[in-house]
Amino acid sequence: MTKKVKKIAVITSGGDSPGMNAAIRSVVRACAYYRAECVGVYRGYQGMIESDFVTLTARSVNNIINKGGTILRSARSKDFRTKEGRKKAYENLKEQNVDGLIVIGGDGSFTGGVVFNKEYGFPIIGIPGTIDNDIFGTSHTLGYDTALNTAVEAIDKIRDTASSHNRLFFVEVMGRDAGFIALNAGVGAGAEEILIPEEDLGLERMLESLQKSRRSGKSSSIVVVAEGDRSGKNVYELAQYVEDNMPEYEVRVSVLGHMQRGGSPSCFDRVLASRLGVKAVELMLDGTTNVMVGLKDNKVAATNLEKAIKGQSSINSELLRVSDIMTT
């Protein structure tokens, strides 16, 4: 029988994403509701090692639901990858009488949590917070919807200038291993072509498609490229390739970069964060451990943490087809 959890620590770890604050707020308020104590740890696992704790009460999280970033700050901790680092973290948690940990982060942060649980039997629950949406066991991760909207808004603006000058724009969006942002933002912003890590469409096909749209009377075009596109060329090389083969186009590149991580979370992300935070606390207080809370068929559901790390979230093939049809 596991010991009853009375005090929960919450961290944000890895890359930050919009909605992390809303999730912290939800965890803190749910703890207050169920009369459990809650402490925040600054800078993720590194703060656990350096004993950087802060008591959080329901009033500590006023006015943060709309804020981007994370009030607890985030970090990538090298020390937590070592046995000594994790031992220190465990000792500090014990000293604070913490008996459960909620980790808001991506698969790396969850891996750290699983390792920690295996070594110390420490209860861990994960909340998926990453703009890439690349975590198995949830249709949406925190921050993904906001990042998508940011990308679409930016591409809309680029389209205005592209169409004024007959230009072809290559717009790079985030997603080293996953094309969710590229595919959805591309369809949402009406891109001519979308290049993602999951699919290699071939450079010839891209040229053909651009030539076809030129012949059909389009004077400007947008190609959305995920950072980790499979063509093997980076966005500048792709632009050069098209410019060499289609001199009639003036080609420009725009890399959206870190702006996609920031900003006030969308309503969807705030609601998702609120739902996941409550569920994480309820599961923790019920004695559940080593799960990630996520959204499945619009219902909050738990997935084994190791499955969430190892499983592959797959790209929506119907959306790929829609995108093809839209470029007619």
Which residues in this chain contact ligand ATP in the complex, by CB under 6 A? 13-15, 45, 76-77, 80-81, 105-109, 111-112, 115, 130, 132
Q: Which is nearer to ligand ATP, 14 or 19 (CB)?
A: 14
Residues 266 and 269: their CA atoms lie apart, in Å, by 5
Closest CA to 219 of 190, 250, 241: 250
> Nearest distance from residue 74's CB to ligand ATP, in Å?
8
Q: Which is nearer to ligand ATP, 108 or 188 (CB)?
A: 108
> Nearest distance from residue 239's CB to ligand ATP, in Å?
27
Residues 260 and 106: their CA atoms lie apart, in Å, by 16
Crossing angle of helices 107-120 and 83-95, in 10° steps, is: 70
Residues 53 and 42: their CA atoms lie apart, in Å, by 6
Catalytic residue among 132, 134, 145, 269: 132
Q: Which is nearer to ligand ATP, 106 or 123 (CB)?
A: 106
Closest CA to 285 of 6, 9, 97: 6
Where are the extended beta strands (E) located within 176-236? 193-195, 221-226
Residues 57 and 112: their CA atoms lie apart, in Å, by 26
Report the amino acid identity of residue 251: V
> Nearest distance from residue 102's CB to ligand ATP, in Å?
14
> Nearest distance from residue 252's CB to ligand ATP, in Å?
29
Residues 316 and 100: their CA atoms lie apart, in Å, by 35
Three-state DSSP class for residue 137: coil
- 132 counts as catalytic: yes
> Nearest distance from residue 53's CB to ligand ATP, in Å?
17
Residues 167 and 18: their CA atoms lie apart, in Å, by 32
Q: Which is nearer to ligand ATP, 48 or 196 (CB)?
A: 48
Q: Which is nearer to ligand ATP, 181 or 187 (CB)?
A: 181
Residues 135 and 184: their CA atoms lie apart, in Å, by 16
Q: Which is nearer to ligand ATP, 103 or 315 (CB)?
A: 103
> Nearest distance from residue 112's CB to ligand ATP, in Å?
3
Residues 280 and 327: their CA atoms lie apart, in Å, by 42
Residues acting as catalytic residues: 132
